[in-house]
Structure 1
Amino acid sequence: MDPKSWPDRTLSMLPAVLAVLIAASAVGPTGGRAGAVEAPEAVTAAPAAGVRTGLKPPTITASVFAPVGFALAGVTTVDTAQGSRRVLVLTMRKAHLRDYRLSTRDDGANLKLTTTDLTLDGDVRIYLTRLHGCIEGLICLDFAPDALPLPPVIPPFVFMTDVRAEQAFVHADRLTTDIVLTSP
C-alpha cells in the first residue's frame, strides 16, 4: 500500500468507523438497546425567550437530515397557551433536509407543507418535543427532552435518515425551499 494514499483512505473510512463506534456505545456491553439518560441536567439549555408555540407541535418527516456544525444544545422550555413545554434544542450553522413533510395538528385549520429540498442557513435552532432518526442510515435512535440516548451528542459530520419528529419551533437566518402548501 502506498503511504501517500493513507490520508485519503483514512478520511473516506471515517464515517464508517464513526458509525461502528456509535453503535458500540449505543448497544453497550449487554448487547441491548441504547441506554437513556433521565432528565439530563448536564445538557440544559437557556430558556427560549420570546418563543411561543402551538399546543400540538407539527409532525415532520424527512428522508435525510444533514446538519453542518451540529450540536445538541440541550433541553429548555417554550411557552404555549397552556403553560410551558420541555423541548430539545438542536443548533447548527446549516441544515439540509430532503423530502421534508410538515403537518399541523391543531384543532383549527390544519396545513400540510411538502418540499423535496429544504435548507436552513445561519444561526439555526430547532426546538423538538421528540426526534427519531437513523445515524448514517445504520443506527436508529429516539431523542426526547426527558430521555436522551447515549451518546447524547452527534458529531457535526453525521447525517440522519428516516427522520420523524415533533417540531415545536425553528429559527434560521435564511430558508431556501421549493415549498408546496396544501390543506387537507
Structure 2
Amino acid sequence: MEHHQKLQQEDIAASATERGGGGGDSYHHHHHPSHHLHQQQQQQPVQDDHQLVLGEDKLLLTEYFYHLMRQLRVCRFSENDRKTRGGKRENISIGYGGLQCVHCASAPNARKFFWSNVDRLANSFAEIPSHVLKCRRCPQSVKQALSDLKTIHSAQMSKLPRGSQKVFFRRMWRRLHEEDPHG
C-alpha cells in the first residue's frame, strides 16, 4: 500500500509540474489544488482493485476531469438499486457496471450512475460533478480542490488532442463493463 501511495503522490506531483497551473506557471505540488485531493485519497481505503482511471489516462484528460474521476468507483447493479431513482431501472441486469461516489458509497442511499451506452454516459456526465460537489460526505477540501482545478479546465482542454475525452469515455466504459454478467 505504501508503494501505491508513493506512486500516486509522484503521479500528482508530475501532473502539477507537467501541465502547470495554466498560463505557463509551474506550481509545486504542495500548492497545487490536486495536493488536497491526494491527501484525501490516502485517507480512503482502496475499495476496489479495479481502477476506473489510470495514470495513462492523464494524457487524455484535464487535471479537473482526472481528479473528478478519482472520486468515483465501479459499482455493480443490485436488486436494491432497482427501487431507486423513480423506477427508471427496470431493464438493468443484476451485476451491470456503473459508477458510484466513493464518499457516500457506504451510505444507505449512495449515489450510483448507470447508463445504457457510452454515448449516454458522455452526454449526461454533468450529473457526476454536480453530485460530487453537493455530496454531504465529500470533504470540503476535495470540493475546493476540484473547484480550483475547474478554473484551469478550459485552458487545459484546449491543449488536449481533439476527441481525447471521448477516447477516455470509451476506455472507462470497457473497464466498467468487462466484468458484467453475459447472457
| Structure with greater proportional helix content | 2
| Structure with greater proportional strand content | 1
Structure whose alpha-carbon radius of gyration is higher? 1
Instruction: Please give the TM-score of this superposition, normalised by the length of structure 1.
Output: 0.27
Instruction: Please give the TM-score of this superposition, normalised by the length of structure 2.
Output: 0.27
